[in-house]
Amino acid sequence: IDFDVLVQRNATYRAAEQKSFQDFQRDRESLLAKVHAEQQAECALQGGAR
C-alpha cells in the first residue's frame, strides 16, 4: 500500500469522526433543550394547579 493512500485514508477517517462528533453534540444539545422545555412546562402546569 502506498504511504500517500494511508495518509489520505487517515484524513478521511478523521474528518468523518469529527463530523459524527459534531452531529452527536448537536443532537445532545437539542435533546437537553427539549428536556429543559418539558421541565419548564411541567413546573408551569404544577404552578397553575395550585
Whole-model pTM: value is 0.60
pLDDT for position 15: 96
Please provide the DSSP assignment of 8-37 as one string: HHHHHHHHHHHHHHHHHHHHHHHHHHHHHH
Spatial separation of the C-alpha atoms in residues 47 and 50, rounded to whole Å = 6
pLDDT for position 50: 58
pLDDT, tens digit, 9 for 90 and up, residues 1-50: 799 999 999 999 999 999 999 999 999 999 999 999 999 999 999 987 65
pLDDT, tens digit, 9 for 90 and up, residues 23-32: 999 999 999 9
Domain region containing 1: 1-50
Spatial separation of the C-alpha atoms in residues 45 and 14, rounded to whole Å = 46
Please give the tally of structural domains in the chain.
1
